[in-house]
Structure 1
Amino acid sequence: MSAVNVTNRIKSTAGPQTSHQPRLGWVSPPNQRGTAGIIWSCFLILFVCVWAVLHHNIPSKTDSYWRIFGRKMRWATLAVYAPEPLTLFAVMQWNAANISVAEMKELGEVNWSVVHAFYANAGGFVLHTPDCSAFPIDAKSIYYLRSTGWIESPKITRENIWDRSKADLFAKGVALIQTGWLLLQCIARAAQGLAITPLELFTVAFTVPTIATAFFWANKPQNTSEPTTIATDWPITDVLKAAGDAAKGPYVDTPMDFVEKPVWEGWKRRPSLLHFGGLHQRPLARIPNDYSPPPPTGKEAMFAWVISIAHAAVHIMGWTFSFPTHAESLIWRACSSTLLVVMVFGGAVPVLSTRLWFDFSFNLLWIWVREAKKPTWQRRYLFEFLVDFAYVLYITARVLIFVEIFISFRSLPGSAYDDIDWMLFLPHV
């Protein structure tokens, strides 16, 4: 390529996407990248990333293939539509696993690893007692039963647990390579002034919380289907009697609820959005995927907050994109700004609700709302109204962004289909 052609090429591709360019609809790929190729590559990245990052808890033995498949599809949809909650779940479970390791070490259990703790909190240990149906016990319950002398430490090794895991390292490697390649392409296209499609920008944004989720779930066994049985000759009622007043109330999930109740406010009304279906018996036969034993510390809440803000901020990069109509451009700007504002101020609530940002405790906002001696109407409803309103804004903005991602393909800037000229990045003498 001559120097003149290189110069002309740079001039023709430079400039923001708002410049006047021919607009194209569906494009076939023989001589340039096509519409189907863009859609397929982004969908492949989304699929592989979701496949690699989801670490579901162990299903019950009575769950059918289709029930498990439907559960995975619901969580896959959540992972694509709103990946931030998945990152928060991963952070909280990682925190719970580390707490469990520290507690078990106090008992002299040096072989209890983070993998054991993740496995336990995923429903990997099932307690069989003579007077109750079998039910899973989490790491906190194992610690309680072990510290009070009811059980011995489980003998399963870290290697045995990983043998039961079906972690797809190949899929994780492919996801990482594809994510890196897409990011490199987007940077190169921006450097050469080539248009980036909204779908590509959305996919890049999706990878931000997904990589964080994968990091925190790195030691959680994946797709494990076989739990470890802990059989006893003592009835569970003996444990409850020995616990005294702490275990007098009726349980909601399992008889070990008194050890550590779910952290959700109104825990007897577990949020149906994240787990609906599949919990029809008591005690529970499996630990739900939305069960997160302690909330994150201040540092972890801060990290999840930053990741959520970064995810929303990537959408802002589409501010100067050339959309088919000016109204659609305004919708994208409004929706991406809404996501960012909701994440900035909504995420600040759990962060500011931590004590010195290092020990999670609702001591600034939550106590003001819930624990006042004489809660006023404002304290009772205003906070909830603001939270619900933020949810509505977030969901509406996400829906509109999804719609625009696909309808924008009817008319994209011509340079969206131009291939990257990698030779331009080589030094010329």
Structure 2
Amino acid sequence: MHHPPLLALLALLPLLLAHPTASTSLYLQLESLQSNLTALHSTLAPSWVSAPNIRGTNSILYSCLLTLFACIYTALHLNIPARGSGRWRLLRDKCAWGFAALIGPEVVLYYASSQFLEARWLARDLRRVLGDEEGLLWKGQEEGVQMAEEGAQPKGGERQAGDWRFNLKYGFFVVMGGLEMWHRAPGGSPVLRTLSPSGIRKLAAANLAPLKIPLSTIEDRSKADTIQKGLVLLQVAWMALQCITRKALGLPLTLLELHTMVHVVCAFIMYAFWFEKPLDVRNAELVDHADFGDVALDEHTDFYPRRGNMPEYKLEWVLRGNVKEIFGSSDSLLVALLFVLPLLYGGVHLSAWGFEFPTAAEDVCWKAACVFIALALVMWCLVHWVCMFAELVLLHLCGLDVEYLTDLNLIVTGRIFFFVCVVCRLYIVIEAFVGLRAVPIGVYWTPSWIQMIPHV
């Protein structure tokens, strides 16, 4: 039996695996004949021509910029904006948070992890209330919660029909500001407020039925696109594979590629945390307070802050320098991440210790910026403890209550540390690009098989 196409493919294999020297000579020949149109039309080329095993500065810039955009702009899953926000307001907010993610990707990563944990805890608590209402806890609490999540039939009757589930996606919908209610403050007129997880728990204890939002409603409002996410992850994975291969072969990397790899790792983890979070939801669901009887909601804890709608990622603590808000989390994992993530960000950039910088001054500034970023929060805590110690000493020795001086000191030092940290982060981003003007020659050599992997 004959297989002409298969034989032809086998005959091409030696050409596919040919050494790039032949292509190099072809490019030299093209260079010499570029002004001879007759020769360009009549001279035959070899049967197979491979791409050169070098890359240019423009290709490094292009691939890194595209990967940074994919890791920053497309990976951001912002909360629901305030009602009446126009298109330009939404674009401005996303660009502002894109800039924040550019200079501090671990900050966005921290809030992605905190939102994931908050959504998970809320969904678990609601399922526990559901199981208690429907008699599903008779087999044991944890098993009953699992039965409630999976739609098991209750012991005492039929479940309410519908496609709702108190799962992680529902928890994210609430955490991102998906449920609103008209709330009347004492002595004031009704104001439309966004319910927080604390408020949802109080309402669920009184009446769970109005909170059963169908998942189809949440999914219809989400702009999540699986194909788009797949293409983004493909480009990010290609960049990661290229850098890992170069490192394994002992080839030098640029500072820009090192900086991009930090964003690649953060993007992968953010996608993992926000995989179930609805994307670009514009409108929230309205629930009626009358459905919950006389449940009293606290103005400060059961609603998100009044600034239009719930704020994106709550960075006010940075500007106010309030240590209690920073360490007010009840979860020790989140507090640990506050210290670990900046330490990793600064430490990874500090791994460029042996890089050849264009000037000695840039080398020193890079190392100083990395060290400050890694230890900024630790140093600020030391300042806080020193202020507290000084306050106690003055109180016991002199009888002076200087608590207001301590708070003032914390605010001033907090803003100083924040400003210096932003400057250091900006320097790292700028130096990553500027440093391309003087790099080792090995930066431009690349394995040919890397270019055969599909990428943009």
TM-score of the pair, normalised by structure 1: 0.69
Is the 8 Å Cα contact of residues 116 and 158 (structure 1) preserved in structure 2? yes
Paired AA for residue 108 in structure 1: L
More displaced, 75-84 or 130-139? Answer: 130-139
Whether the 8 Å CA contact 1:129–1:233 is kept in 2: the answer is no
1:189-338 aligned within 5 A: 189-232=246-289, 243=296, 256-260=298-302, 285-291=308-314, 295=329, 297-303=331-337, 305-338=339-372
Q: Deviations over 1:49-93 (max 9, x none)?
A: 223321111123411111111111111111111112212222222
Q: Which secondary structure does the structure 2 equivalent of 1:63 belong to? A: coil
Which residue in the other structure is 2:319 paired with?
Answer: none
**CA apart distance, 1:214:** 2.5
More moved, 302-311 vs 94-103? 302-311
Matched, 1:120 2:174: yes
Letter in 1 for 2:341: I
| Pair 169,311 (structure 1): closer, same or farther in 2 beyond 3 Å | farther
Query: Which amino acid is the alignment partner of residue 202 of structure 1?
Result: H
Aligned-pair distance for 1:370? 13
Where does 1:12-51 land on structure 2 (aligned, <5 Å)?
Answer: 32-51=54-73
Specify the code of the residue in structure 1 equivalent to 2:193. F
Structural RMSD (CA): 3.8
Distance 1:125 1:367, change over 3 A: farther
Superposed CA deviations along residues 120-172 of structure 1, whole A, max 9, x for unmatched, are: 121212224796243322332122123245x7432322343223211132333
Structure 2 equivalent of residue 250 of structure 1: none
- AA aligned opposite 1:35: T
- Larger Cα-atom Rg: 2
The 8 Å contact of residues 387 and 406 in structure 2, kept in 1 or not, is answered as: no
How many residues end up aligned between the 2 structures? 349
Structure 2 counterpart of 1:406, one-letter code: F
Q: Which protein has greater RCO, CA pairs closer than 8 Å, 6+ apart?
A: 1
Work out the CA distance in 2 between the residues paired with 1:182 and 1:389.
36
Number of the residue aligned with 2:14:
none
The Cα offsets for residues 296-347 of structure 1, whole Å up to 9 and x where unpaired, read as 611233245433322222111211111222222222222222222336x269
- CA separation of 1:308/1:212 partners in 2, compared to 1, >3 Å: closer, same or farther? farther
Identify the range of structure 1 (161-170 vs 67-76) with the bigger mean alpha-carbon deviation: 161-170
Q: Does 1:399 align with 2:421?
A: no
CA contact (8 A) 1:113 1:158 kept: no
Question: Following the alignment from structure 2 to structure 1, what is the Cα–Cα distance between the partners of residues 230 and 314?
Answer: 28
TM-score, structure 2 normalization: 0.66
Change in CA separation of 1:227 and 1:36 when aligned onto 2, cut-off 3 Å: same
Structure 1 counterpart of 2:244? 187
For the Cα contact (< 8 Å) 2:196–2:301, is it kept in 1?
no
Deviation per CA, 1:362-399: give whole Å up to 9, x if none: xx969958998955577435544554443233222112
Separation in structure 2 between the aligned mates of residue 371 and residue 216 of structure 1, nearest angstrom: 41
Instruction: Give the match's secondary structure for 2:251.
Output: coil
Deviation at 1:119, TM superposition (A): 0.6
User: What is the alpha-carbon distance in structure 1 between the residues aligned to residue 334 and residue 390 of structure 2?
Assistant: 24
Change (3 A) 1:296 1:346: farther
Q: Compare 65-74 and 208-217 and name the one that shifted more.
A: 208-217
Partners of 2:80 and 2:411 in 1: how far apart? 33
| CA separation of 1:369 and 1:289: change in aligned 2, threshold 3 A | farther
The equivalent residue for 1:414 is: 441
Looking at structure 1, the residues matched to 175 and 196 of structure 2 have their Cα atoms a distance apart, in angstroms, of: 5
Instruction: For structure 1, list consecutive stretches of 5 or more residues without a partner in the other structure.
Output: 6-28, 248-255, 263-269, 271-282, 353-363, 424-429
Deviation at 1:97, TM superposition (A): 1.5
Cα pair distance change 1:396/1:258, threshold 3 Å = closer
Distance 2:238 2:314 in 1: 35
After superposition, the Cα gap between the structure-2 partners of 1:311 and 1:334, relative to the gap in structure 1 and judged at 3 Å, is same
Verify the 8 A CA contact 2:52 2:448 in the aligned structure 1. Answer: no
Cα pair distance change 1:421/1:75, threshold 3 Å? same
Match of 2:37 in 1: none
Aligned AA (1:290): Y
Matched, 1:74 2:101: no
1:320 and 1:2 map into 2 onto residues whose CA distance is: 36
Partner AA of 2:262 in structure 1: A
Which among 198, 215, 224 is matched to residue 140 of structure 1? 198
Shift in Å, 1:100: 1.5
Instruction: Give me the whole-angstrom Cα distance separating, in 2, the residues matched to 1:88 and 1:127.
Output: 29
Distance 1:112 1:369 in 2: 47
Alignment partners' CA distance in 1, 2:334 and 2:422 = 25
Which moves more between the two structures, 140-149 or 397-406?
Answer: 140-149
User: CA deviation digits over 1:76-120, x for unaligned, max 9?
Assistant: 111111112212222222222123223323422644222212111
Q: % of aligned pairs identical?
A: 25
Cα deviation code 1:262-300 (max 9, x no counterpart): 6xxxxxxx8xxxxxxxxxxxx565222134998361123
User: How much does 1:400 deviate?
Assistant: 1.8
Aligned-pair CA distance for 1:30:
7.2
Shift of 1:48: 1.2
**Whole-angstrom CA distance in 2 between matches of 1:411 and 1:139:** 52
| Distance (whole Å) between structure 2 residues aligned to residue 324 and residue 36 of structure 1 | 19
* Cα 1:381–1:258 shift into 2, 3 Å: closer
SS of 1:187's equivalent? helix
Contact residue 125 and residue 230 of structure 1 kept, 8 A: yes
Question: Does structure 2 conserve the Cα–Cα contact (< 8 Å) formed by 1:195 and 1:415?
Answer: yes
- Opposite residue 257 of structure 1, the aligned amino acid is E
Query: 2:73 is paired with a residue of what secondary structure?
Result: helix
